[in-house]
Every structure is written in structure tokens, then in C-alpha cells.
Amino acid sequence: MEESKIIVNERKLVIPGDVLATGLDFLPSSGCYRENNTIKAKVLGLAKIKDRFVGIVPLSGVFVPRPGDGIIGFIQDLLSTSWIVDINSPYDAIMPLGEAVGEFVDITKRDISTYFDIGDIIYAKILNVTKSKHVQITMNDYRAKKLSDGRLLIITPSKVPRLIGKQGSMIELIKKETKCQIIVGQNGVVWIKGEREGLASKAIKMIEQESHISGLTEKITELLGKGE
């Protein structure tokens, strides 16, 4: 029987078909599949190894909402007692009136657009996702709010953890050096508002493009030190 061993290093860039591990002691996780006694990559991404599981963090991909995710959304349409929200996903979300407003609203006397209107940008939380991918979001969270002014960036959702960094280290570095408020949605939408929005945007785009490169923190620190 073939020896069980890991073929790739953690965070190594792999392409579809690359062999990541051999033998039956390791199990394929997201982005991988087993072929006979080997585990192979299904997608382009970075190898991820945890205990006996071998997986891939994709370098690109759509946002698949999960309960608890914090997202930045765009009010797309109004219904009689809810809003339809674009969450940068193949699935639109519904925000019911009861999840958006913390008070009783008599809809026969008040237009719900006075709370949120088409085009408004919000930071909200994924409340529920059904098996058929009906998504419900809520403003019932201490971080939830309407976002005004500033600028928006959209990055690949899978790059969000790299942008945030360990214990928030990367995003806090950018906030400090650019004197900007920055809110990052798990759906890859980023809101920036402050003194040096252009520099913050440049740093965020560099992180998205070079997330697989070692020494990224040093490169971002150098970029921020030079200014715009």
C-alpha cells in the first residue's frame, strides 16, 4: 500500500489536477477530490492542511452566504413590508421590516422608504439561509448601520481573511496609516471613508492581487509609508 504523505506545503499555490497528498490517512476537504490513493486539487488556490484534512482556499469565487456573516449590501428594491438587498452573491437577500426597524411601523401610514430606500448601502448580518438558498438578513446587530459617503471596493470574497489579517492586524494597519474608517463585508464589499481613501484602496487592491505572496505585510507597510 502506498505511503500516506502530504505532497504540498501549507499555502502553496496549486492548480486543478495537482496531487496534494497520497495514501488513505488524509481526507479531502473543500476544493479537493480523491482519485484512487491520491488527493487532487479541483480549483486554483492555496493549499490548506489541518490535522488529517487537505483543502484549498480558492483564489477566486463567489460569495456563498452563511448565517452570522457580516455583509455590505445595496438596497435594490422595496416590497410592502421588506427590502430586496444585493449582497454581491448569486443570491439576493430579503430584509423583513421586523429585522430592519426596532419599532412598530404602521405601513398604512408610513412609507418604508423613509427607513431604507433604493440605492442605500448597509452593513448587515446574514440571519438565515434556507436549503434552496433563500437568504434573510437583519439589522439587529450592534455593528449594523446605514453607510453614507466614502467609497466602495469589491474584492474576491475568499481574500477577505487575508485583508483582515491575524486578529485584525492587516486592516488595523491600513486604518491607522490612512486615517480611514474601513468596514469589510464577508461578501467582499469594502467601505472606506477618511483622509486618504485612495491610499487605503491601493493597499487593499494590492492585498487582493498578492495575497499568496510571502512578505506581504512588509510590502503594505512600505506602500503606506510612501503615501499616495
Domain range list for the chain:
5-58, 70-147, 151-226
Q: Which CATH superfamily is domain 151-226 in?
A: K Homology domain, type 1 (3.30.1370.10)
| CATH fold of 5-58 | OB fold (Dihydrolipoamide Acetyltransferase, E2P) (2.40.50)
Whether residue 30 has pLDDT greater than 80: yes
Mind listing the pLDDT tens digit for each residue in 152-177? 999 999 899 999 999 999 999 999 99
CATH number given to 70-147: 2.40.50.140
Fold agreement (5-58, 70-147): yes
What's the rounded Cα separation, in Å, for the pair 184 and 155? 10
Q: pLDDT confidence of 144, banded at 50, 70, 90?
A: very high
What's the rounded Cα separation, in Å, for the pair 83 and 77? 6
- Quickly tell me which residue has 445595496 as its cell: 74
Whether residue 2 has pLDDT greater than 70: no
pLDDT at 228: 59
Whether residue 208 has pLDDT greater than 90: yes
The pTM of the full predicted model, rounded to 2 decimals, is: 0.75
Q: Say if strands 93-96 and 180-184 run parallel, antiparallel, or are unpaired.
A: unpaired
Mind listing the pLDDT tens digit for each residue in 98-136? 999 988 888 888 889 999 999 999 999 999 999 888 999
Q: Looking at this protein, which amino acid is placed at residue 65?
A: P
- Closest by CA to 71, choosing from 167, 136, 166, is 136
Q: Looking at this protein, which amino acid is placed at residue 199?
A: L
